Amino acid sequence: MVGLPARGKSLIATKVVRYLHWLSITAKTFNVGQYRRTATPTPSADFFDTTNPEGERLRRAAAEAAVNDMCKWFRDGKGLVAILDATNSSKTRRKWIQERCQAENIETLFVESKCDDEDIIMQNILDVKTTSPDYAGQDPELAAADFRNRIRNYEKVYETIDETNERNLTYVKLIDVGKQVIINQIKDYLQSRVVYYLMNLHIKPRSIWLSRHGESQYNLTGQIGGDASLSDRGELYARKLPELVQQSVGDGRKLTVWTSTLKRTIQTARFLEFEKLEWKALDELDSGVCDGLTYGQIEEKYPDDFAQRDEDKYNYRYLGGESYRDVVIRLEPIIMELERSENILIVTHQAILRCIYAYFMNVPQERSPWMEVPLHTLIKLTPKAYATMEERLKADIPAVSTFREKGSRAKHQEAQEAAQEAHDKQKA
């Protein structure tokens, strides 16, 4: 990474690692600030003054420690992509990194985030003062003032990547949040894939809202797949959803609603007074020959397949259908569109939401198919530089649980009985 503080470098680094993990490519961030915090956990802006020799020595030591660990990580065969997250704001520092990596046979790709948009910079400063470990427990306004002074110190020595004198470098220059992108000497498929992802990113603060469809007729009977309509309680959730969205958004902004092409998501979203788009890519995981069956029936008719799916649910592909890995591949255009869009609400299905949620929350792929994503719940995700914040709003409308734990025997009759019991309680 290359760039001044508050230009979204750590957010970009986090996003790239998360994207690569989602594609089952092992990646890791080596954040020089974390190494520096070992010796100076909460430095003031003076520490970053170029005329402070002790600060310069400690910062150089932190960079060397990070690069040493990164090189060892590669030598030990622990992954394919490492991200050195630091300002790397001088030609001298970039030359040192390039030479060190060449000596280790590591290909380099420099990613510079160059931004002069004051609104974005100020918002990033606000995010940093509340989430950065450098300012933990400090007064937010004092933290913001100190961080501005830190930026000024870096501005004294900052050298943008020089398209003439550094033309031997492989680099991507993202100018003003992707308004202009300059690419130089991209050499292989993996680099080009990362670059394509970077071209779709923006670092503007935003949130994404996620919801499953309301409870469906198939949910009541324990059947999977299909194109069932909503149950009575699913209909109640559809009518409640606009209120939940208004409560969660809070500022009256207009969202764009994405649904699948299946009836239960379209019916759930129909009371939302926003623009709506239907995406085939958001359709539920294709269960092939098991479509319309209950888990009990699947276990009875296809016992070997039922056991194989329990053993490796992420990679198991239904006969004539899909695996979770297949779903991730077809969702990649959705993720790209999400990354360049703002104010999106997605109403879709359990398996699809598991994959999207896993992307934003960096959940390991082997765990993602076993996550519980309850019905009648609105999820708000807000990506930050150091983590993604999550809020959940539950509608006070009962629904069956469609969650099946690994190794459990989810019989059709049990699902019917649970649904009837919940329905009877609601009537009472």
Q: Range with the lowest mean pLDDT among 116-125, 241-250, 332-341, 342-351? A: 116-125
How far CA 279 is from CA of 216, 263, 288, 332, in Å, comes to 19, 12, 20, 13
Q: Range with the lowest mean pLDDT among 307-321, 333-347, 377-391? A: 377-391
What is the per-residue pLDDT for 412? 40
Active site residue 107: no
Q: Please tell me if the domain spanning 9-200 has the same topology as the one spanning 208-427.
A: yes
Catalytic residue among 21, 134, 213, 376: 213
Catalytic residue among 21, 85, 299, 305: 85
- Residues making up the annotated binding site are 212-219, 264
* Distance of alpha carbon 339 from alpha carbon 317, whole angstroms: 28
What is the per-residue pLDDT for 124? 77
Residue 359 has pLDDT above 60, yes or no: yes
358's tokens: 């896993």
What is the per-residue pLDDT for 416? 47
Q: Would you identify the CATH topology of the domain 9-200?
A: Rossmann fold (3.40.50)
* Distance of alpha carbon 172 from alpha carbon 23, whole angstroms: 21
Domain ranges of the chain: 9-200, 208-427
How far CA 394 is from CA of 29, 237, 252, 378, 391, in Å, comes to 35, 10, 20, 6, 10
Question: Given pLDDT bands bounded at 50, 70 and 90, which one contains residue 328?
Answer: very high
What is the per-residue pLDDT for 367? 92
Which among 270, 63, 43 has a CA at the least distance from the CA of 136? 43
Whether residue 111 contacts residue 198, with contact meaning beta carbons closer than 8 Å, is answered with yes
Residue 381 has pLDDT above 80, yes or no: yes
Per-residue model confidence as pLDDT tens digits over 164-223: 899 999 999 999 877 889 999 999 999 999 999 999 887 677 899 999 999 999 999 999
- The set of residues, in sequence order, having a beta carbon less than 8 Å from that of 40 and lying 6+ positions away, is 47, 58
Catalytic residue among 284, 286, 305, 322: 284
251's tokens: 């500022």
Residue 50 has pLDDT above 90, yes or no: no
- The predicted model gives 260-274 an average pLDDT of 97
Question: Given pLDDT bands bounded at 50, 70 and 90, which one contains residue 369?
Answer: very high
What is the per-residue pLDDT for 123? 79
- The predicted model gives 283-304 an average pLDDT of 95
- The predicted model gives 299-314 an average pLDDT of 93
Active site residue 275: no
What is the per-residue pLDDT for 300? 94
Whether residue 324 contacts residue 313, with contact meaning beta carbons closer than 8 Å, is answered with yes
Most confident of 81-90, 142-151, 405-414: 81-90
Which among 269, 180, 240 has a CA at the least distance from the CA of 396? 240
Whether residue 161 contacts residue 169, with contact meaning beta carbons closer than 8 Å, is answered with yes
| C-alpha dihedral (370, 372, 378, 382), degrees to nearest 10 | -50
420's tokens: 């009837």
Whether residue 22 contacts residue 332, with contact meaning beta carbons closer than 8 Å, is answered with no
Q: Which residue has the higher pLDDT, 72 or 428?
A: 72
Per-residue model confidence as pLDDT tens digits over 88-106: 999 999 999 999 999 999 9
Question: Given pLDDT bands bounded at 50, 70 and 90, which one contains residue 130?
Answer: low
203's tokens: 């670092």
* Distance of alpha carbon 81 from alpha carbon 357, whole angstroms: 22
Beta strand 275-278 with 256-259 is: parallel
Question: Given pLDDT bands bounded at 50, 70 and 90, which one contains residue 232?
Answer: very high
Active site residue 166: no
What is the per-residue pLDDT for 85? 96
Q: Position 9: which residue type?
A: K
What is the per-residue pLDDT for 422? 52
Question: Given pLDDT bands bounded at 50, 70 and 90, which one contains residue 271?
Answer: very high
Residue 249 has pLDDT above 70, yes or no: yes
Residue 298 has pLDDT above 60, yes or no: yes
What is the per-residue pLDDT for 133? 80
Question: Given pLDDT bands bounded at 50, 70 and 90, which one contains residue 415?
Answer: very low
The β-bridge partners of 230 are 216
Instruction: Using the Cα atoms of residue 347, residue 353, residue 355 and residue 358 in order, give the sign of their dihedral.
Output: positive
Whether residue 89 contacts residue 14, with contact meaning beta carbons closer than 8 Å, is answered with no
- The set of residues, in sequence order, having a beta carbon less than 8 Å from that of 14 and lying 6+ positions away, is 29, 383, 385, 386
How far CA 195 is from CA of 181, 184, 384, in Å, comes to 10, 11, 21
Percent of the chain topping pLDDT 70: 93
- The predicted model gives 359-388 an average pLDDT of 90
Beta strand 388-394 with 27-31 is: unpaired
> Average model confidence (pLDDT) for the chain?
90
Tokens 């255009």 correspond to 333
* Distance of alpha carbon 401 from alpha carbon 424, whole angstroms: 16
Quote the DSSP letter at residue 414: H
What is the per-residue pLDDT for 143? 84
- The predicted model gives 69-75 an average pLDDT of 97
Residue 258 has pLDDT above 90, yes or no: yes
Q: Range with the lowest mean pLDDT among 129-143, 277-291, 365-379? A: 129-143
Strands (E), 236-338: 256-259, 275-278
Q: Position 251: which residue type?
A: D
What is the per-residue pLDDT for 128? 66
Q: Which CATH superfamily is domain 208-427 in?
A: Phosphoglycerate mutase-like (3.40.50.1240)
- Residues making up the annotated binding site for substrate are 212-219, 264
* Distance of alpha carbon 356 from alpha carbon 233, whole angstroms: 25
What is the per-residue pLDDT for 43? 82
For 6, the 3-state DSSP assignment is: coil
